[in-house]
């Protein structure tokens, strides 16, 4: 049993009193940041009583979290910070029970650690080290609660099941609420943004999280006894997620669901390595073709035809014809990223420095009427995002991680014998497949909604890999 510290109840009551005091203060001073104080202290009390409680609360609040002042995801980021601050302390107290060396030397963890080390190196060569340092700090408090703590905690089936339930239940409630709010607007395509706020920054993140959770909900269905309460709940969850994904009107999310199914089939047929390499080869061939003789210049947008469509049907047709505004803007950003990499091929411009640099590398003929970019969004492709901000080494490490994740999933899936373990592995791999496609058209790993799922998925695969190879990271007394 891992060591847990106890704290006198007086601290808990003091935190409750402080919460009401801060609640009154936040209304009187019209400053919602004050509300973060009691959450932080209550989280601290819970952490010292049982570190798992803070972890579980963080899981539950991920779907419900919302951005405050573009600096804090509230309230889940409070628990992320608490867990990160106490991680080293936690490891020290349990140093005789946790085999840290085995965790650190796992191939998936090694790649993540190498990527983080490279990230730290690029900060030193950044065009704005201050902005890049903030990015590095946030990466650390993503990896600690989303990856390292789950590897330690996900040692039992009931913990994995409970973690899924803590994510799925609030997301199910949100899909019902958002779908209802959207129905009041007549499910109009042009109003897709309004119903998802404030829980999701935009409909793309909403659709991405929904599409990533579908494989996990399907796994819950297959792991439940037919017509049991759990089975019915899982079925309702799947239906709600599918309906909500459709009405999220995110093309990437739709493709992601299909791609997740492709990953499932590929793993079953033991061909996932060929599928991913084929995907990489296809993308690479497309880049080469477009760059040869400046072929990409023939696809510059026509300002009289490139518009924002107000109906879903027109939007889909414009996508096929290449005349919708979002596709045109993506070309604009992608070209800028590739041109930026010519000047900063090794270290990039530095993490968190895309917006400060990219406009100098754009081509005017690809500019659209949304290119002013007031929301300060980035390249809309994670590979190019890595190249631009952290150089080609970062992009290569990310590509290696993606390939290894799928290949490793296939390997342990066919090595495991327990039905629960096999279903968990293939559903998590399918979830990562959906996430990969969503992230291919955005930079979602830096958001708590999607980044959490990605690193939770890696943690599950690491744990199942240890189990398949009969390796224990928790030492017996």
DSSP for 408-420, written as a single string: HHHHHHTT---HH
**CB 406 within 8 Å of CB 430:** no
For the cut 80, the answer to whether the pLDDT of residue 444 exceeds it is yes
- 394-441 pLDDT per residue, tens: 999 999 999 999 999 999 999 999 999 999 999 999 999 999 999 998
**CB 264 within 8 Å of CB 430:** yes
pTM score of the predicted model? 0.88
Of 470 and 16, the structure prediction assigns the larger pLDDT to 470
Confidence at residue 2, expressed as pLDDT on a 0 to 100 scale: 56
Least confident of 11-15, 192-196, 391-395: 11-15
Task: Give dist(CA 473, CA 152) in Å, integer.
Answer: 8
**CB 340 within 8 Å of CB 388:** yes
Mean pLDDT of 177-194: 90
- Helices 382-413 and 251-268 meet at what angle, rounded to 10? 30
Lookup: tokens for 6? 């106890």
Confidence at residue 86, expressed as pLDDT on a 0 to 100 scale: 85
Mean pLDDT of 246-255: 92
Which residue reads 């943004």 in tokens? 193
Of 290 and 403, the structure prediction assigns the larger pLDDT to 403
Q: If pLDDT is split at 50, 70 and 90, which confidence band does 287 have?
A: confident
- C-alpha R_g of the chain: 23
- 81-98 pLDDT per residue, tens: 888 988 888 888 888 889
Confidence at residue 32, expressed as pLDDT on a 0 to 100 scale: 63
Share of residues in the chain with pLDDT > 70 (%): 83
Torsion angle in degrees (nearest 10) through CA of 164, 166, 167, 173: 130
Domain map of the chain by residue range?
Answer: 9-96, 100-477
How many Cα atoms are found within 13 Å in the side-chain-facing hemisphere of 180?
A: 6
Which residue reads 């789950």 in tokens? 150
Task: Give dist(CA 255, CA 385) in Å, integer.
Answer: 21
Confidence at residue 208, expressed as pLDDT on a 0 to 100 scale: 96
Confidence at residue 4, expressed as pLDDT on a 0 to 100 scale: 46
Task: Give dist(CA 336, CA 356) in Å, integer.
Answer: 12
Task: Give dist(CA 246, CA 257) in Å, integer.
Answer: 10
**CB 74 within 8 Å of CB 68:** yes
Average pLDDT of every residue of the chain = 86
Confidence at residue 307, expressed as pLDDT on a 0 to 100 scale: 45
Least confident of 49-53, 133-137, 368-372, 441-445: 368-372
Peptide bond into 198 cis (omega under 30): yes
Confidence at residue 75, expressed as pLDDT on a 0 to 100 scale: 86
Confidence at residue 48, expressed as pLDDT on a 0 to 100 scale: 64
Q: If pLDDT is split at 50, 70 and 90, which confidence band does 309 have?
A: very low
For the cut 60, the answer to whether the pLDDT of residue 311 exceeds it is no
CA nearest neighbour of 215 among 5, 411, 456, 3: 456
For the cut 60, the answer to whether the pLDDT of residue 477 exceeds it is no
Q: If pLDDT is split at 50, 70 and 90, which confidence band does 238 have?
A: very high
Q: If pLDDT is split at 50, 70 and 90, which confidence band does 369 have?
A: low
Confidence at residue 210, expressed as pLDDT on a 0 to 100 scale: 97
Confidence at residue 306, expressed as pLDDT on a 0 to 100 scale: 46
For the cut 70, the answer to whether the pLDDT of residue 211 exceeds it is yes
Burial 178-189 (b: 16+ CB within 10 A, else e): bbeebeeeeeeb
For the cut 50, the answer to whether the pLDDT of residue 111 exceeds it is yes
For the cut 90, the answer to whether the pLDDT of residue 167 exceeds it is yes
Q: If pLDDT is split at 50, 70 and 90, which confidence band does 344 have?
A: very high
Mean pLDDT of 20-24: 74
Task: Give the DSSP letter of residue 71.
Answer: T
Q: Which residues contact 192 (CB under 8 A, 6 or more apart)?
A: 182, 203, 247, 248, 249
Mean pLDDT of 197-223: 95
Mean pLDDT of 162-177: 94
Q: If pLDDT is split at 50, 70 and 90, which confidence band does 6 have?
A: very low
């Amino acid at each position: 049993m891992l060591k847990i510290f106890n704290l006198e109840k007086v601290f808990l009551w003091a935190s409750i009193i402080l919460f009401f005091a801060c609640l009154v203060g936040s209304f009187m001073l019209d400053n919602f940041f004050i509300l973060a104080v009691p959450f932080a202290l209550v989280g601290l009390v819970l952490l010292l009583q049982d570190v798992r409680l803070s972890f579980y609360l963080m899981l539950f609040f991920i779907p419900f979290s919302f951005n405050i002042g573009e600096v804090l995801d509230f309230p889940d980021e409070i628990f992320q910070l608490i867990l990160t601050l106490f991680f080293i302390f936690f490891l020290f107290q349990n140093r005789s029970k946790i085999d840290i060396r085995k965790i650190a030397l796992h191939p998936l963890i090694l790649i993540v650690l190498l990527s983080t080390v490279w990230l730290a190196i690029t900060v030193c060569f950044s065009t704005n080290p201050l902005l890049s340092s903030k990015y590095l700090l946030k990466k650390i408090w993503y990896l600690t609660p989303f990856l390292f703590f789950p590897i330690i905690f996900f040692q039992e089936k009931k913990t994995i099941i409970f973690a899924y339930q803590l994510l799925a239940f609030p997301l199910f409630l949100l899909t019902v609420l958002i779908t209802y709010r959207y129905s009041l607007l007549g499910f109009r395509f042009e109003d897709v943004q309004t119903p998802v706020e404030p829980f999701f920054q935009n409909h793309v993140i909403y659709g991405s999280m929904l599409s990533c959770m579908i494989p996990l909900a399907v796994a819950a269905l297959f792991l439940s006894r037919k017509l049991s309460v759990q089975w019915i709940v899982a079925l309702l969850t799947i239906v709600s997620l599918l309906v909500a994904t459709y009405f999220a009107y995110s093309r990437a999310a739709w493709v992601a669901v299909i791609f997740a199914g492709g990953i499932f089939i590929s793993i079953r047929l033991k061909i996932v390595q060929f599928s991913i390499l084929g995907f990489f080869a296809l993308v690479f061939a497309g880049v080469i073709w477009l760059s040869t003789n400046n072929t990409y210049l023939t696809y510059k947008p026509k300002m009289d035809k490139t518009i924002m469509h107000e109906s879903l049907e027109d939007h889909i047709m414009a996508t096929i014809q290449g005349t919708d505004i979002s596709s045109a803007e993506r070309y604009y950003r992608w070209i800028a990223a590739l041109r930026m990499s010519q000047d900063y091929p090794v270290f990039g411009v530095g993490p968190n420095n895309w917006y400060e640099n990219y406009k100098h590398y754009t081509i005017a003929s690809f500019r659209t009427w949304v290119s002013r970019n007031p929301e300060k969004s980035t390249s809309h492709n994670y590979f190019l995002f890595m190249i631009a901000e952290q150089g080609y080494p970062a992009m290569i490490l990310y590509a290696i991680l993606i390939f290894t994740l799928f290949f490793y999933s296939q390997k342990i899936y066919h090595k495991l014998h327990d039905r629960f373990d096999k279903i968990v592995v293939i559903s998590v791999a399918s979830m990562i497949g959906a996430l990969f496609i969503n992230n291919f058209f955005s930079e979602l790993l830096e958001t708590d909604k999607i980044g959490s799922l990605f690193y939770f998925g890696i943690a599950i695969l690491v744990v199942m890999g240890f189990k398949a190879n009969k390796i224990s990271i928790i030492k017996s007394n």
